[in-house]
Amino acid sequence: MAACLRFLLICLVTCVARATDDPLASAIGHAKAHPQGDVPASFVAADYRGDLRDLPIGVFDSGVGGLTVLEALKAHDRHHNVTGADGADGVPDFAGERFVYFGDQANMPYGNYSAVGRTDFLRELILRDALFLLGRRQARGDKPPVKAIVIACNTATAYGLEDLRAAVKAWGIPVIVVGVVEAGAQGLAETAEGAQGGVAVLATVGTCASNAYPKAIAKVTGRPVRQLGSASLAAAIEGDPSVKTPIRDIIRADVGAFLKSAAADDAAPIDTLMLGCTHYPLVADEIAAAFAYWREQSDASGRKPYATLVAPKLKQVNPAAWTAESLWRSLRGAQMMAVARPKGGDQFFLSVANPAWKGVGLAADGTLTYEYKYGRSPGQVGREDTLNVPMTAEALPGATAGLVRERLPLTWRSLQGAR
């Protein structure tokens, strides 16, 4: 009898261990066990009972690339604000809303986690990002909870959208969750405008590895898709000091390698570019220039090998604008648009390495080392090897700040006024 009991106990412990090894199960259990929001990665359950309409909208990304999505939200004007009818009325559709933005810069780029076999840890990071937005805790004070979460990161959408929707359902909170990949594919289908050739999806290595865009595009159109995954472009746009190659040179080399491979496979002619990383709209002109450059290049025989592979004029699809439309439809349908004028401005946060966390690996510049960042395993939803602190315009690297200032004016103005 004792032996049987010991066996049953071992089986029970093993089953529990396996359940809690799963990032989704761990995150659901962690938040449920702390309904007062008093520990990391938790929220105040009572905040989600009652009228949520005047709560802000949460937006998160692995860094600052998601600011392109925030810009799209701020600029979106496709409906009459009073009646909801189609057609711009000169007033942004989200004019009555405020936003809380979070960039997990300490742990970026997310696109590299799958390449080193850390997909489950990436899933945990994504759930932690959402829990931060849902909760009130941040390193230097409080923040408001949110009524909707926009995953403004293609890799995070690919690996975490279904987890987050399942978690929200398990927690029993009426929070809307929108991701950029589905929205981008829908945008491609709704704005073809004569472009029926091949689609080049430009994204991180991780997003490409997930095949999220080919799957999503296949649901709405039968157009051929080919992916271009870059291992360093997003980090370069973030101003990562470990990336020494100039942004233009990274793009030109990536596009050249992509076209060489496509030509060898006799790929369909490309006439549409899907900007499948939220950082890439910041360098959309440079991307277009790289394709134009390679289209005109001649080989040793004087032939232009890519002239028929790349259309003279490429259509670009930016999923950010379609994410804004998807969010508007979801909030309007759920009758969750704000009813009062927003009090206070938008809030912005970034993660930074926490030197006080036991065993944290820090580089000379105070960031997480590559070995530490990509060597972690899931199982500590409440870990605090990074801290979430207010983001300011002054905290952005010079090149990144310049891109935001020049190409995202509405967000730049809001960021300057943030506290």
Looking at the fold, whether 273 and 300 belong to one and the same domain comes out as yes
pLDDT, residue 18, reads 41
Q: Please list the rounded mean pLDDT of every run of 10 residues in the chain (419 residues).
A: 40 38 93 94 95 96 92 96 93 95 94 91 97 88 92 94 97 97 90 81 92 94 93 89 93 96 92 93 94 95 94 92 94 93 86 96 94 95 94 83 91 86
pLDDT of residue 244: 92
Catalytic residue among 4, 11, 208, 277: 277
Instruction: Let me know if 4 is a catalytic residue.
Output: no
Number of domains in the chain: 2
Nearest to 322 by CA among 356, 281, 354: 281
Q: Same domain for 195 and 310?
A: yes
The residue from 319, 346, 376 where one domain ends is: 319
CATH of the domain at 250: 3.40.50.1860
**What is the per-residue pLDDT for 403?**
86
Pair (332, 244) in one structural domain: no
The one catalytic residue among 4, 11, 15, 153: 153
Same domain, 138 and 212: no
Q: Is the same domain home to 168 and 43? A: yes
Q: Are 367 and 291 part of one and the same domain?
A: no
- 11 noted as active-site residue: no
Per residue in 61-118, pLDDT tens? 998 889 999 999 999 999 999 899 999 999 999 999 999 999 999 999 898 898 899 9
Q: End of a domain among 266, 295, 319?
A: 319
Domain of residue 160: give its range: 36-86+95-180+321-416
Q: Tell me if 226 is assigned to some domain.
A: yes
Same domain, 131 and 65: yes
In a shared domain, residues 217 and 328: no
pTM: predicted TM-score of the whole model, two decimal places: 0.85
pLDDT tens digits, 330-350: 999 999 999 887 777 899 999
> Same domain, yes or no, for 145 and 201?
no
At 328, list the tokens: 């508007």
Kindly state whether residue 118 falls inside one of the protein's structural domains.
Answer: yes
- Average pLDDT of the chain is 90
Residues 301 and 347 placed together within one structural domain of the fold:
no
Residue 130 contacts residue 149 (beta carbons within 8 Å): yes
Q: How far apart are CA 366 and CA 352, in angstroms?
A: 9
Number of other residues whose CB lies within 10 A of the CB of residue 146:
28
What whole-number distance in Å separates Cα of residue 384 and Cα of residue 356?
A: 9
Strands (E) located in 95-232: 99-103, 137-138, 141-142, 148-151, 176-179, 198-204, 225-230
